[in-house]
Structure 1
Amino acid sequence: MQHLLTVCKDAVAKLCTLFGVAMLAFSPLFAGPPDSLLHFEVDYARFRINDNVAQLEIYISVPRSRLQFVAEGEDLLASFESQVIIAIADSDVVDHKWVEHTVAADSAEIKPTQILCTQANFQVPVNTYDVNVRVTDPRTKHFGVRSFQVNIAPFAKDRLVLSDLEIASRIARDTTVSRFYKNNHLVIPNPSRMYGANLPMLFTYAEIYNLSYPSDSSYSVAYRILDG
């Protein structure tokens, strides 16, 4: 396991709005859904913007082979549309859609173990939200829907605070600004949280807030991995 803890003295996070899709490979551990449905995985993490506002990051992954590829010049092209609706009671706070594309040289390149990842980031104040995520293949009209509730609580100012853990498939030093950029690192999420022969390394990303910096200070980080 590899992990990255980022010390955020000012607790200022950046809202990424650029497009980008990452492709992973893993050993599938689930049975396929009915043909009319588009299977996808979703996860989320919360990071501090200020005491009463968090950056809510929604992570989505789609099996590449479940998308319909069509000829586009000499290549094959597929795409999927993601929609995130964040609501309080019956009032929508966010309704955001975006489309990701993937290109293959030929059909032999498209394998069941390939996973496409994307994410969207939202700054939301303290409250409890209903989140609805819909992913659609615009060519076949197949889609999947996942719903869950997210609580954004105030961040304490008088003690150490840890953000959510983002479970990732890859973390690397990279200053290129993209959808997956965090504090000079590329952090590719793994919404399925599944690992195997093709994805053997578990990465985690987290941020620690309210650290002080006297010359004689030191901190230790302990973590455990439990077999669920």
Structure 2
Amino acid sequence: MDSRIKSRGLVESKLMYSIRSLTVMVGSLLFVVPSVVAQRSPQIEVDYASFAYDERESLVELYMALEASSLTYEAQGSGYSIAIPFHLSLIRSSADANRDLAEDRPVWVQEDELRFFVPDTSSIFEGRVFLRQTRFTVLPGKYELQVDLLITEQEVIQSRRDLIIPDYSQRKNCLLSDIILASSIADSDDNEDPHYKNRLSVIPNTNQLYGVDSAQLFYYVEAYNTACAASDSGEYTVLAYVAEASSLVRVPGLEERSERNARQTDVLVGSFDLSDLRSGTYFLHVEIPSSTNETVVEESRKFFVFNPSLNTLQSDVITGDEKFEISSYATMTEEEIERGLKYIQVIANEREFRQIRRVQDLDERRRLLMDFWEVRDPTPGAEGNEFRDEFYRLLTYANERYSAQRVEGWETDRGNTLLRYGRPTNIESNMYERGRKPYEIWKYNNIPGEGQAEFIFADLDGFGDFELIHSTVAGERKLPDWPQRISDRY
């Protein structure tokens, strides 16, 4: 599989960006008639990426993609056009510690029109998009973005999403920007191009879908303060690879390691050919390891592959093979198997969870446990299983630290979080803060598909059982006003 990483050195990121609102049109249209009416409601996708800018603020790129086939066009002169008023507003999240609770005004607002014109309507089909890109600077923090599109006086399309903007201003540690997953990246000298940055034209893929007719994944990421990971030769290492979402197992052939000269700011560009990947969910990981191969900093982005020509069906029936007969799983007692299956439900995917509940035969349950760990083995064929071993180390740690009221530590909220997401980068323990119940803030520099993340645990009843009351991770418990919830006056 083809992959490559380019390196470009910069003096200051902000000098290579044009901070303005820009629009690009991708695609053209479908029928040659006085007006072209969409058959369904307009579809919009919103994505963003953040980068270093100056000592106070970070740069944010906001991407809005509209499906061309979901829009209604009017004849205008020699072609067809559409104009959609929109309103963007960014406010501090209620979960942001720096937010002034009395301040509800947006920190950034933009009002404009999405205007697109095409000479004919011959090429609009599913998948064609119009893309709007906007750049602005903002203080680091947690924000809520609202997008309002005025389709008609009676129809307003709204989209909301959380934005976490890191602080890139410190110069001591290695940092990575957000990753842009792109549909194309090409060399460019056209600084009027709305997608131009650092002598490149980067067209973001807002839905992160690859496969048929778009099998090449491109990515763009900036690395800062890379000298912190440099060897004596003045070079540092970058590792980029694709991993399965369900198991985090690296995909063979989709990995690139390169050495490059340490710079204050470095631009990393690469691509992977995904044409041989089965349909499914994956992560692109970019990391900078130390000279001892310990991860210094890492970023990841989730993406999706749709390859219907490949066999994507995975059987729900668990079958044995010769490896099972000679494995330790074949002789495990029923008690050992049930305990092992109980543990793995914390990190099992939906298909595996269904199998655990459905399969009753003891030998099949033994095979199920073996298969579960085998697909997560980062070094198949080698002795041991590092992923499984780390899981049980975390489980033991959770039992030693978090057991409470006859509940084993791994079953508590903190224990579950530890098993799902690994060891936090930092834990802020606040056991005796005046006016508040005991609480902990777990911070992660990077959770695959989420980036920086936080978990808030609090001992609400005073018995030492710390409940998860809020997290920035999608699908986890949300309580934006958690500071009020842990107040003694609540």
2: CA distance between counterparts of 1:176 and 1:218? 31
Contact 2:27 2:124 in 1 (8 A): no
Are residues 195 and 86 of structure 1, via their aligned partners in 2, closer, same or farther at CA, if it must alter by over 3 Å?
same
Question: 1:1-228 to 2 correspondence within 5 Å?
Answer: 6-12=8-14, 14-17=17-20, 19-23=22-26, 35=40, 37-88=41-92, 90-137=104-151, 142-155=155-168, 156-177=170-191, 178-212=193-227, 216-227=233-244, 228=281
Deviation at 1:4, TM superposition (A): 5.3
2: CA distance between counterparts of 1:110 and 1:122? 31
Superposition TM-score, scaled by structure 2 size: 0.41
1: CA distance between counterparts of 2:5 and 2:113? 30
Gaps of 5+ in 2: 29-38, 95-103, 245-280, 282-490
Deviation at 1:47, TM superposition (A): 0.2
2: CA distance between counterparts of 1:147 and 1:92? 14
The residue identity in structure 1 corresponding to 2:78 is: E
Of 7-16 and 170-179, the range deviating more from structure 2: 7-16
Of 146-155 and 177-186, the range deviating more from structure 2: 146-155
Deviation at 1:112, TM superposition (A): 2.5
Gaps of 5+ in 1: 26-33
SS state of the match for residue 112, structure 1? coil
2: CA distance between counterparts of 1:3 and 1:102? 34
Superposition TM-score, scaled by structure 1 size: 0.83
Deviation at 1:172, TM superposition (A): 0.8
User: CA offsets per residue over residues 117-174 of structure 1, 9 Å max, x none?
Assistant: 111111001222211122343x686442221222223223112111000111111111
2: CA distance between counterparts of 1:6 and 1:118? 26
Contact 2:27 2:123 in 1 (8 A): no
Deviation at 1:5, TM superposition (A): 5.4
User: CA offsets per residue over residues 90-130 of structure 1, 9 Å max, x none?
Assistant: 21111102323333333333222311111111100122221
Deviation at 1:54, TM superposition (A): 0.4
1: CA distance between counterparts of 2:51 and 2:117? 32
CA-based RMSD: 2.8
Contact 1:39 1:62 in 2 (8 A): yes
Aligned residues: 219
When you count strand as a share of all residues, which structure comes out higher?
A: 1
Are residues 126 and 171 of structure 1, via their aligned partners in 2, closer, same or farther at CA, if it must alter by over 3 Å?
same
2: CA distance between counterparts of 1:109 and 1:76? 13
Contact 1:11 1:209 in 2 (8 A): no
The residue identity in structure 2 corresponding to 1:135 is: L
Are residues 83 and 215 of structure 1, via their aligned partners in 2, closer, same or farther at CA, if it must alter by over 3 Å?
farther
Contact 2:20 2:136 in 1 (8 A): no
